[in-house]
Amino acid sequence: MVAFQKGSLRRLVLTVVTAGLGAYSAQAQTTGTSAMNVTVKDVLQLTVNTKTVDLVFGTPEDFNNGVSSTVNNQLTVTSNRPYDLSVKTAGDLSDGKTSIPVSNISAQTVGSGLGTPKTVTALSTTDQVLAASIPPSMSKTITMQYSTSAKNEAFLVPAATYTTTMTFTASAN
């Protein structure tokens, strides 16, 4: 049997009652959980910023040396995946009467961060890869360069503006 001193039993009962009430007191905080979903969809957008490319044969030097044109930021591509960039034409250059084979013009990308760049030495009506495995990017601007070879007799035609349409394609890898 346990012996208690006077008043110690009252203190023991008061302590037990106080501790018990503390166990059942209201809490000032509570928690809950929520799920978060992030959905990423494939995004691939190509914009042609400069719609016209001009190659001008205006001097004897142009015919002897060939001509070139660099079109800064001609294209803008946004993609969340690596992609390839290709080009093709609608056909040969023509003024409506005379034509110049489009294969006499080369095209290439200029700059860094363009994956594996390739020079298209002869434009054609079939897609040709300008750059492969370009890394994903937001609003990547791409500069293009077009050129002709020196002393190319295909350009010995009547004075006129010869036109074709180029189509650029970005294809996700």
**pLDDT greater than 60 at residue 13:** no
Strand partners of residue 132: 116
CATH match of 44-172 with 3.40.50: no
Tens of pLDDT, residues 82-134: 999 999 999 999 999 999 999 999 999 999 999 999 999 999 999 999 999 99
Nearest Cα to Cα of residue 105 among 50, 56, 142, 141: 56
pTM, rounded to two decimals: 0.81
Cα–Cα distance measured from residue 96 to residue 104, given in angstroms and rounded to the nearest whole number = 18
**pLDDT confidence band for 27 (50 / 70 / 90):** confident
